[in-house]
C-alpha cells in the first residue's frame, strides 16, 4: 500500500466533516481536517445556532404583546441589537471552541486554510503546502446563491451578513420563499423591523404541504409581515435614504436593507474536483451513492455539498455512516426517508413525511385529518392566531404518511412524531396513544373526522 501522510483528509470542519473526522480519528486512523473559515461550519457560525438565538430574541415581542391578556402590565420595552449580537457572538465562539477541542481530543489534526485537490490523493492547503491521504472526504457545505446579473445585486445581503449587521434596520425587504427567508422575516418582524417578504412563486415554502404553506403565509401576515407573492426583483437602487427594490409587477419598495434568501448552492469553487476527476451534478453538487462514495474510488462527500437533504443532522449522520463504513468495518448508509423538518417561523412549523399532494401522487387514495384551532395560550388575548395539525394517511394500509403542525412548539412535537412514523405507525396505533392534556400536541392523537379537501368531494 502506498505511504500517505494521512489515512483520511477531510475538507471542511462543519457538521458532516467534524463528525466523520472525530469518529475516524477515534478508531486510530491518522486524520487531518482543513477549515478555511471557522470550525463548526454553517450550522454553528452562520446557520442554525445563531438563527435560533435570533428567533428567541424576536419571540419576546409576541410574549410582551399577549402578556396583557394574562393581567401583566409590561413596561416600555426596547431591544439592544449590538448587545444581543455581542452575546450571540460570545456563545458562537464558545461553541466553535468546543468543536476544536473535540477534534483535538479525538486525535484529529486541524489545518487552517483553503484546501484544494491537486490529484485524487494530494491536497494543497493554502499556507501549509501539500499533503497526501489515502482517503479524502469532501464536506465543504453550501453557500447562499446570489443573482449576480440583477442590477444592484451588490447592494443586497445574504443570511451570512444578516448575523452581523452593525445596526438593526428600520425597514427590510427579504426576497425568497424558502425556510431561511421565512425565518428571517419572522426574526426581523419580531424585532420591530418593518418587514416585507417578496417571493416570485404562488406561495412560500415550496415542497411543504399546501395547507401548511397557505396557513403560514396567513399567520405571518397576522403578525405584521407584508407578504407579496408572484413578483421578484428587477433592480435594486441605492438612494440617500437606503435602497429601492423594483419588482417585476411594476411596484417598488424602500428599505434600509435588502436581503436575498433565494436558495443555496453547493460550495465546490476552487476545490480542484475536476483535477481529481470527481463528477458533479448539474447544480454543481458532488454526485454520490448511498454510501456517500463519489465516482473516484478514494473520495467521498457528505452534507450540503452533495445537495441531498440540506440539514445539519443529515450531514452529521452521513459523516457518521461514512466513518463507520470505512474505519469500523460496519457498512452503514444513512436512510434519507422520514427526516423531520422544522421551520423556526413565527409561529413555527414541524413536518415529517409526505405532503398531501405527494401522498396522492404516490399512493392514490389518502385520508386527510386536519384541524385548525386557536391555541389555548391565546384564549385571553383576543388574537386570531390559529394552529394547524394535519395527518396524511394511506387509505389502504392506514399507515401515516405525513404529519404537519404549525403552532407553538411544533418543532419539538415533530421529533416525537418522526419516531413513530419511522417505525411505520398506522392511524389506529397512533390513535391508541393516550393524549397528554392540556397540550396542543394532544390534537394529533384525537383527530377522528376525515377531512374532505374543498373541490374533491366524496370521490376523494
Ligand X SMILES: Cc1cc2nc3c(=O)[nH]c(=O)nc-3n(C[C@H](O)[C@H](O)[C@H](O)COP(=O)(O)OP(=O)(O)OC[C@H]3O[C@@H](n4cnc5c(N)ncnc54)[C@H](O)[C@@H]3O)c2cc1C
Number of residues that bind ligand X (CB under 6 A): 34
Residues in region 268-297 near ligand X by CB under 6 A? 271
Q: Which stretch in 28-36, 127-135, 215-223, 353-361 sits in contact with ligand X by CB under 6 A?
A: 28-36
266 lines the binding site for ligand X (CB under 6 A): no
Give every CB contact of residue 267 below 8 A, 6+ residues apart in sequence: 140, 141, 142, 143, 304, 305
Residue from the set 6, 16, 168, 356 that interacts with ligand X by CB under 6 A: 16
Q: Which stretch in 234-242, 274-282, 303-311, 349-357 sits in contact with ligand X by CB under 6 A?
A: 303-311
Q: Are the C-beta atoms of 315 and 139 separated by less than 8 Å? A: yes
In the complex with ligand X, the residue whose CB is nearer, 317 or 427, is 317
In the complex with ligand X, the residue whose CB is nearer, 131 or 366, is 131
155, 233, 437, 451: which one is catalytic? 437
176 lines the binding site for ligand X (CB under 6 A): no
169 lines the binding site for ligand X (CB under 6 A): no
Closest contact distance (angstroms) between CB of 302 and ligand X is: 7
In the complex with ligand X, the residue whose CB is nearer, 201 or 313, is 313
Closest contact distance (angstroms) between CB of 117 and ligand X is: 9
DSSP annotation string for 357-420:
HHHHHHHSSEEEEEEEE--GGGTTT-----EEEEEEEETTT-BEEEEEEESTTHHHHHHHHHHH
Residue from the set 22, 23, 24, 47 that interacts with ligand X by CB under 6 A: 47
Residues in region 87-126 near ligand X by CB under 6 A? 114-115
Reported as type and span, the H/E element at residue 116 is strand 115-119
218 lines the binding site for ligand X (CB under 6 A): no
12 lines the binding site for ligand X (CB under 6 A): yes
SS3 of 152, please? Answer: coil
Q: Are the C-beta atoms of 362 and 392 separated by less than 8 Å? A: no
Closest contact distance (angstroms) between CB of 238 and ligand X is: 25
Closest contact distance (angstroms) between CB of 291 and ligand X is: 16
Residue from the set 107, 147, 152, 313 that interacts with ligand X by CB under 6 A: 313
In the complex with ligand X, the residue whose CB is nearer, 27 or 312, is 312
Instruction: Give the Cα-Cα-Cα angle 345, 145, 299 (nearest 5 degrees).
Output: 105
Give every CB contact of residue 19 below 8 A, 6+ residues apart in sequence: 315, 316, 319, 320, 323
x-or-dash pattern for ligand X, window 397-426, by CB under 6 A?
------------------------------
Which of 303, 306, 287 shows the shortest CA–CA distance to 295?
287
What are residue 122's DSSP bridge partners? 119, 132
128 lines the binding site for ligand X (CB under 6 A): no
* Cβ burial, residue 71 (10 Å; 0-12/13-18/19+): exposed
Closest contact distance (angstroms) between CB of 180 and ligand X is: 5
Residue from the set 185, 311, 417, 421 that interacts with ligand X by CB under 6 A: 311
Q: In whole angstroms, give the CA distance from residue 430 to residue 267.
A: 41
Q: In whole angstroms, give the CA distance from residue 444 to residue 405.
A: 9
36 lines the binding site for ligand X (CB under 6 A): yes
Closest contact distance (angstroms) between CB of 188 and ligand X is: 13
CB-side neighbour CA atoms (13 Å) of 213: 17
51 lines the binding site for ligand X (CB under 6 A): yes
Q: Where are the beta strands (DSSP E) in 214-333?
A: 226-229, 233-239, 242-247, 252-255, 257-260, 264-266, 299-301
Q: Are the C-beta atoms of 129 and 154 separated by less than 8 Å? A: no
- Residue 291 is given by DSSP the state T
Instruction: Give the Cα-Cα-Cα angle 276, 278, 284 (nearest 5 degrees).
Output: 125
Q: Which stretch in 21-29, 217-225, 309-317, 355-363 sits in contact with ligand X by CB under 6 A?
A: 309-317
Joined grid coordinates for residue 437: 392534556
Q: In whole angstroms, give the CA distance from residue 79 to residue 115.
A: 41
In the complex with ligand X, the residue whose CB is nearer, 245 or 320, is 320
x-or-dash pattern for ligand X, window 179-198, by CB under 6 A?
-x------------------
Residue from the set 315, 370, 389, 421 that interacts with ligand X by CB under 6 A: 315
Residue from the set 23, 27, 41, 258 that interacts with ligand X by CB under 6 A: 41
Closest contact distance (angstroms) between CB of 255 and ligand X is: 20
Question: Helix count (H) and strand count (E) of the chain?
Answer: 12, 21
42 lines the binding site for ligand X (CB under 6 A): yes
Closest contact distance (angstroms) between CB of 305 and ligand X is: 6
Q: In whole angstroms, give the CA distance from residue 334 to residue 330.
A: 12
Which of 126, 88, 107, 105 shows the shortest CA–CA distance to 25?
107
Told to judge if 112 belongs to the known catalytic residues of this protein, a careful annotator would answer: no
Closest contact distance (angstroms) between CB of 61 and ligand X is: 20
Give the interface with ligand X as residue ranges (CB under 6 A): 11-17, 34-37, 41-43, 47-48, 51, 114-115, 139-141, 159, 180, 267, 271, 303-305, 310-313, 315
Active site residues: 437
Amino acid at each position: 500500500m502506498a505511504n500517505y501522510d494521512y489515512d483520511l483528509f477531510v475538507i471542511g470542519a462543519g457538521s458532516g466533516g467534524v463528525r466523520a473526522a472525530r469518529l475516524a480519528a477515534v478508531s486510530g486512523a491518522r486524520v487531518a481536517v482543513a477549515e478555511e473559515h471557522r470550525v463548526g461550519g454553517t450550522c454553528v457560525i452562520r446557520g442554525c445556532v445563531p438563527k435560533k438565538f435570533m428567533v428567541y430574541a424576536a419571540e419576546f415581542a409576541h410574549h410582551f404583546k399577549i402578556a396583557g391578556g394574562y393581567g401583566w402590565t409590561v413596561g416600555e420595552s426596547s431591544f439592544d441589537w449590538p448587545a444581543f449580537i455581542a452575546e450571540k457572538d460570545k456563545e458562537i465562539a464558545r461553541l466553535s471552541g468546543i468543536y476544536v477541542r473535540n477534534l483535538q481530543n479525538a486525535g484529529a489534526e486541524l489545518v487552517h486554510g483553503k484546501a484544494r485537490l491537486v490529484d485524487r490523493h494530494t491536497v494543497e492547503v493554502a499556507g501549509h503546502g501539500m499533503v497526501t491521504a489515502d482517503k479524502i472526504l469532501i464536506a465543504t457545505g453550501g453557500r447562499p446563491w446570489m443573482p449576480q446579473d440583477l442590477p444592484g445585486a451588490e447592494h443586497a445581503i445574504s443570511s451570512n451578513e444578516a448575523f452581523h449587521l452593525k445596526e438593526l434596520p428600520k425597514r427590510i425587504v427579504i426576497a425568497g420563499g424558502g425556510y431561511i427567508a421565512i425565518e428571517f422575516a419572522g426574526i426581523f418582524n419580531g424585532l420591530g423591523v418593518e418587514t416585507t417578504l417578496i417571493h416570485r412563486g404562488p406561495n412560500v415554502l415550496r415542497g411543504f404541504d399546501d395547507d401548511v404553506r397557505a396557513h403560514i403565509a396567513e399567520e405571518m401576515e397576522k403578525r405584521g409581515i407584508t407578504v407579496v407573492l408572484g413578483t421578484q426583483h428587477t433592480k435594486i437602487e441605492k438612494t440617500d435614504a437606503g435602497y429601492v427594490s423594483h419588482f417585476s409587477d411594476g411596484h417598488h419598495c424602500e428599505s434600509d436593507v435588502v436581503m436575498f434568501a433565494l436558495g443555496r448552492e453547493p460550495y465546490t469553487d476552487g476545490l480542484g474536483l475536476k483535477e481529481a476527476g470527481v463528477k458533479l451534478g448539474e447544480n454543481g453538487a458532488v454526485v454520490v451513492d448511498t454510501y456517500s462514495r463519489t465516482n473516484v474510488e478514494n473520495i467521498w462527500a457528505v452534507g450540503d455539498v452533495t445537495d441531498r437533504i440540506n440539514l445539519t443532522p443529515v450531514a452529521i449522520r452521513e459523516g457518521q455512516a461514512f466513518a463507520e463504513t470505512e474505519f469500523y468495518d460496519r457498512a452503514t448508509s444513512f436512510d434519507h426517508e422520514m427526516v423531520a423538518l422544522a421551520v423556526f417561523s413565527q409561529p413555527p412549523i414541524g413536518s415529517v413525511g409526505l405532503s398531501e399532494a405527494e401522498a396522492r401522487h404516490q399512493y392514490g387514495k389518502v385520508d386527510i385529518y386536519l384541524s385548525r384551532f386557536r391555541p389555548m395560550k391565546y384564549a385571553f388575548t383576543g388574537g386570531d392566531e390559529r394552529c394547524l395539525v394535519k395527518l396524511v394517511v394511506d387509505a389502504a394500509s392506514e399507515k401515516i404518511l405525513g404529519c404537519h403542525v404549525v403552532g407553538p412548539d411544533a418543532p419539538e412535537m415533530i421529533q416525537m412524531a418522526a419516531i413513530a412514523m419511522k417505525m411505520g405507525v398506522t392511524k389506529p396505533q397512533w390513535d391508541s396513544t393516550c393524549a397528554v392534556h392540556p397540550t396542543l400536541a394532544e390534537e394529533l392523537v384525537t383527530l377522528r373526522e376525515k377531512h374532505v379537501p374543498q373541490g374533491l368531494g366524496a370521490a376523494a
